Chains A and B, each alone.
Chain A
Amino acid sequence: MAYPGGQLSEEKVFKDPVHRYIHVRDKVIWDLIGTKEFQRLRRIKQLGTTYLTFHGAEHSRFNHSLGVYEIIRRIIDDVFVGREHWDHSERLLCLCAALLHDLGHGPFSHSFEKVFRLDHEDFTQAIILGDTEVNKVLRRVSDDFPKKVAEVIAKTYPNKLVVSLISSQIDADRMDYLLRDAYYTGVSYGNFDMERILRVMRPREDQVVIKRSGMHAVEDYIMSRYQMYWQVYFHPVTRSAEVILTKILHRAKKLYEDGYNFQTKPVHFYSLFAGNVDLQDYLKLDEAVILFYFQQWQDERDEILSDLCRRFVNRHLFKYVEFNPTNEQMTKLIELTSLFKKADIDPEYYLVVDSSSDLPYDFYRPGEEGERLPIYLLMPNGELRELSRESVLVDAISGKRRTDHKLYFPADFIYDFSTKRTTKKKIIEILEG
């Protein structure tokens, strides 16, 4: 594939704390980074509300996207080139798909997607295929190039090896986010030897496989993934912030539908509330915009909206107790709901169960029937073996279920006995019981 200008006259490098340097030689990559849609990713944090728990987690989807690009570049240029099953004419396509794979993410996208029933992947497709700067750059490669990039990201491109580089159980996306999130949160258990994994990756017709000699490096990767989920991604305090954020969006939407007269009109939210958000509206949203509204809405007359915004902005979060929805607990939940109403605390906004299945992260699965493809080890005799059949360590953690439900509530409201003392005592009895 040709691109006017092809290669840059001089290689550009970005200094990066995870990969040390990110190398750009292809002009199309340089031009894509310069588009406004890609620059927007600087204003969207990679880990959403996690910065309220791990204060270092301020890194953006921009950093991560560059990181994924760099990993793919190293795999292709340093490991795959010249090997059987690898078609080097797919190089530019892989690099562009890696760079753009998260392009459609919105601000605090997990909560936004849940409340407004959106899918960032639809917006990634729309940005790549629509009337955008990104599309114009990609079209310079060829007319059908944007479509191909979109297909790789949507995992519907016919060359499954290409797809698996960007999206599989051991892909560049995961490798970058684990290392990057560990670095920025400051935790030590997210680390693994990525260089070693890259060196033992081998292309196969349908997917990337790992040489048996690299199994221990992959074990480390699986362990780091497992630990990052429970220690960082599923952290209960982050989830508390996420619960409040979700409730702010619900409340603002409800007020809008009820014709409430906002002091600060939610102009940027109108199409979201109406359920007809178009691409141009969507691209105007970033976390700076959203946090501006939250800042302003702290002074709204609606007590619920202003309280929730103050909680989010000032990190005055909900407390939680473990909650397993057994039938006995469900009866308690019904009782709690009624007591909250009696205590004039609206349970719709102040009594929330959050489950681990609501969170956007997935564990390693050893490829049971109908599920996603597992990681395969390439044995010295050429045979492929699923990872957990060879690794005792991976086998020990991959088949085990661990689910988690928590009940969130505003402890300060409950322990304020200046009103509804008896009812609140009952609430505490149930919560502490």
Chain B
Amino acid sequence: MFTEHAKVMKALAAAGEIVGRKKLQKMIYIAKKLQFPFYEKFDFHFYGPYSEELTCRVEELCDLGFLHEVKEKKGGYFQYRYTLTEAGKQFLNHYDIKMPHLQECMQDMNEQNSRFLELVSTVLYFEHLTKEEVKEKVFLLKSKQRYTEEEIEQAYAYIEKLRAKVKNEVRA
């Protein structure tokens, strides 16, 4: 019970602090695509894969005092920072969740900016298509973001890098 909540907390604990709701959404989506057992359902929205379920879960965790949310004004919009609280750390002690290499992956993703993670998650969303088709999708659906071919190549390379991290653990 509350295992799915605990997994989200575990991901946050692994990352340390996550700045931005978009970043949090994309990090969990990418982790899910890397086969970490997150079961929140994602749909494609304006900013790429988005999960209403994850949004609600994070709200619940804030409500319960397990996550600390700081709202700060940034330019024309609000930005949110998330960290695990002491109560959250205690709550997590009730669970023995094993997600090998999650920490490395979350920390690595946390060092990337949310624009890049939006691209990575979009590439992963369409990964059943050929690379050319994926590029076409990115240019069509993300025209306002003006991603370049080079950035898309970087996204592919980054996905490979993350997958290698996960595979290493499987071998070990």
Residues on A facing B (Cβ under 8 Å): 113, 117, 119, 121, 154-156, 158, 160, 206, 324-327, 330, 333-334, 352-353, 355-358, 360, 362, 365, 368-373, 401, 403, 405
Interface flag for B99 (CB, 8 Å): no
Say yes or no: A353-B1 contact (C-beta < 8 A), given A369-B79, A370-B21, A403-B59. yes
Say yes or no: A403-B56 contact (C-beta < 8 A), given A330-B94, A368-B78, A370-B22. yes
One of B26, B55, B94 near A371 (C-beta < 8 A): B55
Cβ B39 vs Cβ A117 within 8 A: yes
Cβ A357 vs Cβ B1 within 8 A: no
Cβ B21 vs Cβ A371 within 8 A: yes
Report the nearest A residue to B144, measured CB to CB.
Answer: A206
- A158-B140, A353-B1 given; name 8 further pairs at CB < 8 Å: A158-B141, A327-B90, A352-B1, A362-B52, A370-B22, A370-B47, A371-B50, A403-B59
Range, interface on chain B: 35 or more
Cβ B64 vs Cβ A119 within 8 A: no
B71 to chain A, nearest CB (A): 9
A21 to chain B, nearest CB (A): 32
Residues of chain A within 8 A of B43, CB atoms compared: 121, 155
12 residue pairs bridging A and B, Cβ less than 8 Å apart: A113-B41, A156-B44, A327-B90, A330-B94, A353-B1, A355-B60, A356-B56, A357-B60, A358-B4, A362-B56, A369-B22, A371-B50
One of A121, A155, A206, A357 near B56 (C-beta < 8 A): A357
Interface flag for B62 (CB, 8 Å): yes
A342 to chain B, nearest CB (A): 19
CB-CB contacts of B58-89 with A at 8 A, as 1s and 0s? 01101111000000000001111000000100
Say yes or no: A325-B20 contact (C-beta < 8 A), given A158-B141, A333-B1, A356-B56. no
Cβ B2 vs Cβ A325 within 8 A: yes
A261 to chain B, nearest CB (A): 31
A82 to chain B, nearest CB (A): 26
Interface flag for B45 (CB, 8 Å): yes
Number of A-B contacts (CB under 8 A): 95
Interface flag for B53 (CB, 8 Å): yes
Cβ A334 vs Cβ B46 within 8 A: no
Choose among A326, A358, A365, A369 the residue with the greatest number of B CB atoms under 10 Å from its CB.
A369
In the complex the two chains form, what is the Cα distance from A260 to B59 in whole Å? Answer: 41
Residues of chain B within 8 A of A352, CB atoms compared: 1
B56 to chain A, nearest CB (A): 4
Report the nearest B residue to A357, measured CB to CB.
Answer: B56
Cβ A154 vs Cβ B44 within 8 A: yes
Residues of chain B within 8 A of A158, CB atoms compared: 140-141
Residues of chain A within 8 A of B60, CB atoms compared: 355-357, 403, 405
Report the nearest B residue to A114, measured CB to CB.
Answer: B39
Residues on B facing A (Cβ under 8 Å): 1-2, 4-5, 20-23, 25-26, 39, 41, 43-47, 50, 52-53, 55-57, 59-60, 62-65, 77-80, 87, 90-91, 94, 114, 126, 137, 140-141
Residues of chain A within 8 A of B47, CB atoms compared: 370-371
In the complex the two chains form, what is the Cα distance from A325 to B20 in whole Å? Answer: 26
Residues of chain B within 8 A of A326, CB atoms compared: 64-65, 87
Residues of chain A within 8 A of B46, CB atoms compared: 160, 206, 372-373
Cβ B64 vs Cβ A368 within 8 A: no
Residues of chain B within 8 A of A370, CB atoms compared: 20-23, 25-26, 47, 50, 114
B27 to chain A, nearest CB (A): 11
Cβ A324 vs Cβ B64 within 8 A: yes
Cβ B57 vs Cβ A369 within 8 A: no
In the complex the two chains form, what is the Cα distance from A356 to B59 in whole Å? Answer: 11
Cβ A401 vs Cβ B39 within 8 A: no
Residues of chain B within 8 A of A358, CB atoms compared: 4, 53
Say yes or no: A369-B20 contact (C-beta < 8 A), given A158-B140, A327-B90, A357-B56. yes
Residues of chain A within 8 A of B65, CB atoms compared: 326
Report the nearest A residue to B114, measured CB to CB.
Answer: A370
A146 to chain B, nearest CB (A): 16
In the complex the two chains form, what is the Cα distance from A158 to B137 in whole Å? Answer: 8
Cβ B91 vs Cβ A330 within 8 A: yes
A320 to chain B, nearest CB (A): 14
Residues of chain B within 8 A of A353, CB atoms compared: 1-2
A1 to chain B, nearest CB (A): 20
Say yes or no: A327-B91 contact (C-beta < 8 A), given A357-B53, A371-B50, A401-B63. yes
In the complex the two chains form, what is the Cα distance from A155 to B60 in whole Å? Answer: 27
Residues of chain A within 8 A of B1, CB atoms compared: 325, 333, 352-353
Cβ B63 vs Cβ A357 within 8 A: no
Residues of chain B within 8 A of A154, CB atoms compared: 44
